[in-house]
Amino acid sequence: MRAKFQYWRSRKHLQNVASLPCQHCGLDGQTQAAHSNMAAHGKGRSIKASDHFTAALCFACHHDLDGGHSLTKDQKQKMFFAALKKTWIELQKRDLILIDSPDPLVDN
């Protein structure tokens, strides 16, 4: 039997992620906290992935990740993981990591 997924939710973390520039294209001021689309991160039918699996992406990059047809599934996963890693590093630089936040780079 598969263990139940442990979700971590934090409005403050999502605000911190959205405060960063886009970690894919660099655009500043229009960033969103883009959740992972992978089941391994808790994504399911109408359920968002756990909040620690969020990357700072602008609207256009977020759209490409979620619904864009110009990228393959593999390209989308690589884009997400690269942006997730950059997001985590930028949050650390700005001292915006919340004390109870799981490390997404260890958990995937």
What is the pLDDT at residue 44?
Answer: 81
Domain boundaries, the chain: 12-93
What is the pLDDT at residue 84?
Answer: 97
pTM: 0.89
pLDDT band at 3 (very low <50, low <70, confident <90, very high): low
One-letter-per-residue 3-state SS of the chain: CCCCCCCCCCHHHHHHHHCCCCCCCCCCCCEEEEECCCHHHCCECCECCCCCCEEEEEHHHHHHHHCCCCCCHHHHHHHHHHHHHHHHHHHHHCCCCCCCCCCCCCCC
Express each pLDDT in 60-94 by its tens digit.
Answer: 999 999 887 888 999 999 999 999 999 999 999 99
